[in-house]
Amino acid sequence: PARPTPASVDVGSLAEAPAQAADCRRCPLWEPATQTVWGEGPEDARLMFIGEQPGDAEDLTGRPFVGPAGALLDRAFADATIDRAAAYLTNAVKHFRFEQRGKVRLHKRPDAGHVRACHVWLQQELATVRPDTVVCLGATAAAAVFGNAFKLTQERGRWHTLGNGVRAMATVHPAWVLRQPPAARESAYRGLVADLLSLSSGGP
Ligand code: URA
């Protein structure tokens, strides 16, 4: 049977949405994944961070940003004096996409179709949390919020106003910082922190 389009799906309140999303079959990623990883944070958070997709640790625990990328993000939050507990953290895609190599599950980037299929859930989170400020971590989240033409290398750290008055920007993904060769990692990290520091100073 044809899948319903995102607009035709009646998603309920944020309280009901995780249970609905837990059974999501809108794209094939649900099948190999352990579980849907829903966003986490206060329903009235002013600040929302959007990542790419759960990683291995997130898939197993069911919580966003609890693995190595999450640890780096926590450090960046501390350096930028951002209170993680006051923010809402979620992902553009809510199932882990991976390639099995022996016992190891290798992260595989979600494609545009997965982002599109999952968009209804992100819209649900944006519509119910109604943050003032959205920070996209990496190109996948940026594409989900700003569209596929968005160029992270050119636009990172720059503030934009979304149609609904929300200020939004994109910065690099913490996993990208971790993937940098040792000599480049510190400056990549400092760049992430600098972008996060503009939360208190920058913006329209
Ligand atoms: N990377 C992401 O984009 N999100 C997570 O939740 C964890 C790692």
Q: What is the CATH number of the domain that holds 125?
A: 3.40.470.10
Q: Is the CB of 53 under 6 A from ligand 1?
A: yes
Residue 168's φ and ψ, nearest 5 degrees, are -145, 145
Identity of the amino acid at 148: N
Domain annotation covers residue 16:
yes
pLDDT at 169: 98
pLDDT by residue, tens only, the chain of 204 residues: 344 444 445 555 677 889 999 999 999 999 999 999 999 999 999 999 999 999 999 999 999 999 999 999 999 999 999 999 999 999 999 999 999 999 999 999 999 999 999 999 999 999 999 999 999 999 999 999 999 999 999 999 999 999 889 999 999 999 999 999 999 999 999 999 999 999 987 655
Domain annotation covers residue 108:
yes
Mutate which of 48, 65, 140 for ligand 1? The one with the most ligand atoms within 8 Å of its CB, which is 65
Q: What is the ipTM of this complex?
A: 0.94
Identity of the amino acid at 49: F
Q: Which domain, by its residues, includes 20?
A: 12-201
Domain annotation covers residue 7:
no
Q: How far is the CA of 52 from the centre of ligand 1 (A)?
A: 6
- What domain count does the chain have? 1
Domain annotation covers residue 5:
no
